[in-house]
Structure 1
């Protein structure tokens, strides 16, 4: 095996019927399947016969880091499976961390989810694209939200051809930045600030520099990996052409939060409900981002590096973590997510920022527009904890009609988005209908 071309592929799979189709597609479209070492943390029912039935050839079983590892060969590739019952799972990054224990000094590192499809020659394409960035960065990373596909009879037709870059979407209730995506066109990969957990390709040094923190459950994974990579000197680039596809939503597939609920804990099936692990996880992310009183040093070895600071990351991304604010350009139509140059004046940089809030609320039409009433509009007002008005908007009946199709139960899913110069967070939304014949109706409230 030519170590200069080998790829260590880390996959976390939770009760995913797409795992084996993903492995088949990956190896069918690889130029050099013999150079692939695939490590899967398989969180399922532990019946390994499913892999033999799919045509994988069992080779041996060994112990790594205290766990059994089952080796299979398939289409010249090596596939190592760590089998864990799904009730024993501790979250996405825990599973990714287990997969990383199987790393054997391969040249490149690929982290993906277990529901993907691949372009022809994807392995050589990824390597070539990464090499093309060496003149622009000493430590480049290829990462993005891949375009979608949907398995089934129309799978090929479902594969979208656009590419996208990661953008800031919002701060969640814990003050953790959450990401979205925006399509782009470019003749070459474009610089970005954010990393996507479902697709990372870089040199294998990344496995040692930025190992997955097994205590991060799910939400916050991407910003944590992003700032750690940045502080270790890595630069993120979004591919300018599709390299793989990703199956999003997966509404019919089992998820860890549906299995690891309060009922499963009460029955003794799981040690902790998913939300208990999620609370610990989010506090760790907040600590890493400097949002908690304790030092991030307590997170060792899953800490920031020494090459660049957290403030330098904020300059590059145009966000202020502690204030929960962003530059206007970040939320403008351009959705700017990368600022090449630091600000000349920090005070001015902070002064230009706003707190942005974005949320959709669901309302039942019958509660506000009873058939006998002549309601003509709906007033929505947002207040903070001190009952200060932050945002107000009147929706006409015509505007509300455009939101009906977005709700499965025939109600409205109404998007709210606004900015304030204050960082005081919204607490409540007050809704009141207006009738041209009877005036104001009853005021109801919803938590923000």
Structure 2
């Protein structure tokens, strides 16, 4: 007797015109749509069943209780649960995912995605097959990465056709590791360290053991969930095949940070502006990583006890408290996994760490313009508190001219990217022109 393997799909949708096309494509491209159990936290501006019934969905049940209304539909054999919420009541992406996860009912597998996706043929069967193929390597495997891009205004053949894996990009101003991606070429899934909020596929139990923290607004959610997943015993793998696509453009679409503004708070339409929720959110994430001087209670959304945060840092090559990484993390290969047999002892770990710094330095055009016409080149130095030189760079006259030409609102921008030892941090930047006839010109100085 074959047991039916159901798939719980969690979707957070914020005023997204791509929601219905995403649902249609998901169900159409599935091999077994009858096994899909889809739940959507639908953050809307006009609560109406017609958005769903107008597409052909059959309403099976409707509970319009004021505190927690729920609509249930059947569409092309798939079961769909919609939790409608006015967008002014939204508390961010992770809160919406948490609302959807409350409807998990013991399904075999779980998939977390955004509401702007397209799917490969038989994506459901392929995800299940790929995950099950990893069980010889891990008792609790997870598939996750940033899917390649699509644009709903372009034909399907123009979709991006390369897989990618997640890598460290930089530390945020709050000291949190932020992620990016790089192309992947492999014949099998590749071990990774990070999860992408827009694509997480795992056993259904993942929804319960690593549930979304509803108090995390948006930024930092991925590194927090990656650490929590690892410490709960999960191992992340990057799919070597394209299973779905993601719409990254969305420049004209409504966003919560546009709606939850100062004006909306002043008028009483929202309780908190988006940046207020974001600040509280990052305090929680900093608490999770032991960075917060005044930690908050994060309750059920803390680290697991199967493995430690120290082991997660060794896995990723990142030392969060020092804001430092192993050189290989930011080197040519952009490594994202260091397995236990490669972990250095504490002394060697500390010796090998480097702190990456990247910043766009903004300078007043008026401070540069007088010397611009006569300078042959420009010297830029970055110094620590004790005036130690951390990084220096020579800018050609052509580079400065290009920066001046593209200046915005009277400010020109120079990009810097360098590493230093974790014990030293940048304090001041000095830019000085050099003239072949008269020598060095006046120094322009500003705080880092």
The answer to whether the superposition gives a TM-score over 0.5 is: yes
What is aligned with 1:312? 311
CA distance in 2: counterparts of 1:93 and 1:12, whole angstroms:
8
CA gap of 1:60–1:12, structure 2 versus 1, over 3 A, is: same
Give me the CA root mean square deviation: 2.7
CA gap of 1:148–1:438, structure 2 versus 1, over 3 A, is: farther
- Displacement of 1:282: 0.4
CA gap of 1:256–1:27, structure 2 versus 1, over 3 A, is: same
- Displacement of 1:17: 1.3
What is aligned with 1:150? 151
- Displacement of 1:34: 1.0
CA distance in 2: counterparts of 1:51 and 1:318, whole angstroms:
46
CA gap of 1:395–1:284, structure 2 versus 1, over 3 A, is: same
Say if 1:227 and 1:310, in contact at 8 Å, map to a contact too.
yes
Say if 1:373 and 1:435, in contact at 8 Å, map to a contact too.
no
Q: Does 1:193 align with 2:230?
A: no
CA gap of 1:344–1:333, structure 2 versus 1, over 3 A, is: closer
Deviations 1:70-95 (A, max 9, x none): 11221111111111111111111001
CA distance in 2: counterparts of 1:224 and 1:148, whole angstroms:
24
What is aligned with 1:163? 163
What is aligned with 1:183? 183
- Displacement of 1:356: 0.8
Deviates more, 1:270-279 or 1:398-407: 398-407
Secondary structure of 1:270's match?
coil
Deviations 1:8-49 (A, max 9, x none): 000111111111111111111011111111111111213322
Deviations 1:142-169 (A, max 9, x none): 00001111111x2313311111111111
What is aligned with 2:360? 360
CA distance in 2: counterparts of 1:406 and 1:301, whole angstroms:
49
Say if 1:324 and 1:423, in contact at 8 Å, map to a contact too.
no
What is aligned with 2:300? 301
Secondary structure of 1:173's match?
coil
Deviates more, 1:175-184 or 1:381-390: 381-390
What is aligned with 1:111? 112
Secondary structure of 1:67's match?
coil
- Displacement of 1:406: 8.8
Secondary structure of 1:215's match?
coil
CA distance in 1: counterparts of 2:11 and 2:221, whole angstroms:
15
Q: Structure 2, unaligned stretches of length 5 or more?
A: none
CA distance in 2: counterparts of 1:20 and 1:399, whole angstroms:
47
Secondary structure of 2:69's match?
strand
Say if 2:283 and 2:295, in contact at 8 Å, map to a contact too.
no
CA distance in 1: counterparts of 2:333 and 2:400, whole angstroms:
27
CA distance in 2: counterparts of 1:327 and 1:410, whole angstroms:
38
- Displacement of 1:422: 3.4
Deviations 1:214-269 (A, max 9, x none): 00001110011001000010000000010001111421111111111212211212
Deviates more, 1:340-349 or 1:384-393: 384-393
Secondary structure of 2:301's match?
coil
What is aligned with 2:16? 16
- Displacement of 1:56: 2.3
Say if 1:265 and 1:272, in contact at 8 Å, map to a contact too.
yes
What is aligned with 1:241? 241
CA gap of 1:32–1:345, structure 2 versus 1, over 3 A, is: same
- Displacement of 1:393: 1.2
- Displacement of 1:329: 0.8
What is aligned with 1:173? 173
What is aligned with 2:70? 69
Say if 2:353 and 2:422, in contact at 8 Å, map to a contact too.
no
CA gap of 1:431–1:206, structure 2 versus 1, over 3 A, is: same
CA distance in 1: counterparts of 2:432 and 2:255, whole angstroms:
37
Say if 1:374 and 1:437, in contact at 8 Å, map to a contact too.
no
Deviations 1:378-419 (A, max 9, x none): 433334456554322121134457779998999965431111
Say if 1:12 and 1:92, in contact at 8 Å, map to a contact too.
yes
Deviates more, 1:204-213 or 1:343-352: 343-352
Matches within 5 A, 1:387-406: 388-399=388-399
Q: Does 1:323 align with 2:325?
A: no
CA distance in 2: counterparts of 1:65 and 1:133, whole angstroms:
44
Secondary structure of 1:84's match?
strand
- Displacement of 1:441: 5.5
Deviations 1:52-71 (A, max 9, x none): 22332222213799411111
The count of corresponding residues between Structure 1 and Structure 2 is: 445
Q: Does 1:420 align with 2:405?
A: no
What is aligned with 1:207? 207
Say if 1:325 and 1:423, in contact at 8 Å, map to a contact too.
no
What is aligned with 1:46? 46
Q: Structure 1, unaligned stretches of length 5 or more?
A: none
- Displacement of 1:438: 6.4
Secondary structure of 1:43's match?
strand
Q: Does 1:287 align with 2:278?
A: no
CA distance in 2: counterparts of 1:65 and 1:141, whole angstroms:
36
Say if 1:163 and 1:183, in contact at 8 Å, map to a contact too.
yes
Say if 2:360 and 2:415, in contact at 8 Å, map to a contact too.
yes
TM-score (norm 1): 0.91
Matches within 5 A, 1:261-272: 261-272=261-272
CA gap of 1:436–1:71, structure 2 versus 1, over 3 A, is: farther
CA distance in 2: counterparts of 1:405 and 1:57, whole angstroms:
58
